Structure 1
């Protein structure tokens, strides 16, 4: 009996199983608009892409929308034609010299290569106060299972909020420029597995977009008409950026009440579900609509804002805690984006 049972069990894995066919809907491709024009120097960019709805198997697939006609109109009847970047397909740029005018309203209009037309609701440009000062605060973030915490520099801006208007703020960091230190004398030939020191170069300058790990926004309910200090950015220490000196511009935008509400919803979802780089669990509609199909869901937002900015140089001695320095055993020019000479306006 036992032998017979064993024989039956051995035959079971050989039985044929008909595959179950699962039809997974791909979901519609949603147009996504990320546009910001402001009163500061340009060029300003509008990026247009298509992405699948949340839950689709293609939800992480983002495709640039190429060959569109993109224009910005203001309330004075001016029309500004944006040109698509040659190296950044799907991104459209304002002409050199264009700056949004304080008090004017702007509308973004898009016609895709397929002939579909989209427009934004008008956005009014409000004035932005100057950033008086920027303070630094080293922040350590414990990492579970790691002895060395993550860390970085929090930027705290001081502003004098105007008392005669309701203000909504949005802060964004420019790409940083930092001194990159390498050790070409430690170069090792991977083919021969022998030391192969190089004579050059030890020091370069690298420009990179570090972004923010969160959205930095605020409204002046609690500090209307007062001087205030508020966090406006964060730069993570990756063991390379702060080995010498780093430069960053803090861009401050005075946005509309509607734009602030949109950014606040995005921030809330990002903080609940992960980071701003994760896809949101629900679509957040912005101020873009389809003129062909009012029911079509269009994602993103077109922002027109007043702008101010302040530049700051951060020295390694400004940090109260630093990550272990990453050794680069090669010519510093071998690092992607590194250049031997600093930007023309480098002036620490």
Structure 2
């Protein structure tokens, strides 16, 4: 018994000694001052749409500031047949082009000249037509809702897909406020702040391929899972999915990007490596450029899920700590709480502003145009 205890003590001592000898590894790429161009966006071939290209710069992992945007650049799209289209600069390093539809059998490339005189060119790429989203399916499992996407290409030409989605959900505050304090007077509220809508845009890279299948079909590809207790499902929930057809080169680029940015956290995950897109520096071929220029269409589909379609789940609304108090007018002027409603001749029911103003939870009190579809 003593020998076993002594062995354990020695083991713990060795762990502490080894752990104390480990120095943090900070590769040069983490702290180097290099700032490289990042290109996001594509040339949309759908009629009546606006194409946008966003330019920004990479930053060190230790830099707390937001990435810098690339402004005052000259951005053009060129066709193989020598047609040139100039994009206009907007805000935040975003350059847009409207009223131009790429030709189906043409190829195009992106040209960027920065304010510092550096020039970047993409490879010529074809126009990819995206097949429609067949359906968005959902089902209840594991105390939540699993949402999947289904699509196919009857021409058997697409094979490579990317999906992006945004979620919108309706929620309410704990109490409906009918009054507010203005200039030390209690007046009827003119703006309703009880009912709100919040939104989330997924930033992950979601890809799918039918390349190894006999038919170009994507069936029940998982997109997202929503917990049953989530406030998203408390009243009404909507998800819009955007689908894009990719070339094999674009698929490989986003697949590599997803592996090194999303699959992290264990020793078995892919190691960091340089990602090569289809945009290059004209003067310095060794200069890294992040991004992949694409030309094509985007297909979208939206579904709604209401509370009555789901099992009974206790929604985590955040309202459970909301308390009500009865205060006189003088106390309300002094403490300035949120006012719920008139109680009697001299007092009102009150609560915290968080409990009566749904906007304080990150949403807006204007109903989206698509909400009653």
TM tier, smaller: 0.7 to 0.9
Distance 1:99 1:178 in 2: 34
SS of aligned partner of 2:252: helix
SS of aligned partner of 2:242: strand
Structure 2 residue aligned with 1:301: 292
SS of aligned partner of 2:300: strand
Distance 2:248 2:258 in 1: 15
Aligned length: 295
Structure 1 residue aligned with 2:128: 126
Structure 1 residue aligned with 2:256: 265
Structure 2 residue aligned with 1:339: 365
* 8 A Cα contact 2:36 2:57, kept in partner: yes
Match of 2:39 among 33, 46, 52: 33
List 4+ stretches of structure 1 deviating above 6 A: none
The alpha-carbon deviation at position 264 of structure 1 amounts to 0.8
Structure 1 residue aligned with 2:212: 222
The alpha-carbon deviation at position 337 of structure 1 amounts to 4.7
Distance 1:59 1:109 in 2: 31
Gaps of 5+ in 1: 1-23, 141-150, 190-196
The alpha-carbon deviation at position 116 of structure 1 amounts to 0.8
SS of aligned partner of 1:258: helix
Change in CA separation of 1:57 and 1:248 when aligned onto 2, cut-off 3 Å: closer
Question: How do 1:60-75 and structure 2 match up within 5 A?
Answer: 62-75=67-80
Structure 2 residue aligned with 1:79: 84
Q: TM-score, normalised by structure 1?
A: 0.72
User: Which structure carries more helix by proportion?
Assistant: 2
The alpha-carbon deviation at position 288 of structure 1 amounts to 0.9
Distance 1:247 1:307 in 2: 19
Q: TM-score, normalised by structure 2?
A: 0.68
Distance 2:138 2:262 in 1: 23
Change in CA separation of 1:162 and 1:60 when aligned onto 2, cut-off 3 Å: farther
RMSD over aligned Cα atoms: 3.4
Distance 1:226 1:37 in 2: 24
The alpha-carbon deviation at position 108 of structure 1 amounts to 1.2
Question: How do 1:294-333 and structure 2 match up within 5 A?
Answer: 294-319=285-310, 324-327=316-319, 329-333=355-359
The alpha-carbon deviation at position 255 of structure 1 amounts to 1.0
Distance 1:26 1:52 in 2: 9
Distance 1:322 1:126 in 2: 45
Gaps of 5+ in 2: 1-27, 181-187, 320-353
The structure showing larger relative contact order (alpha-carbon pairs under 8 Å, at least 6 residues apart) is: 1
SS of aligned partner of 1:267: helix
* 8 A Cα contact 2:168 2:237, kept in partner: yes
Match of 1:231 among 221, 246, 265: 221
Give 1 or 2 for the bigger CA radius of gyration.
2
Distance 2:303 2:273 in 1: 37
Change in CA separation of 1:224 and 1:68 when aligned onto 2, cut-off 3 Å: farther
Question: How do 1:109-120 and structure 2 match up within 5 A?
Answer: 109-120=111-122
Structure 1 residue aligned with 2:328: none
Distance 2:149 2:172 in 1: 29
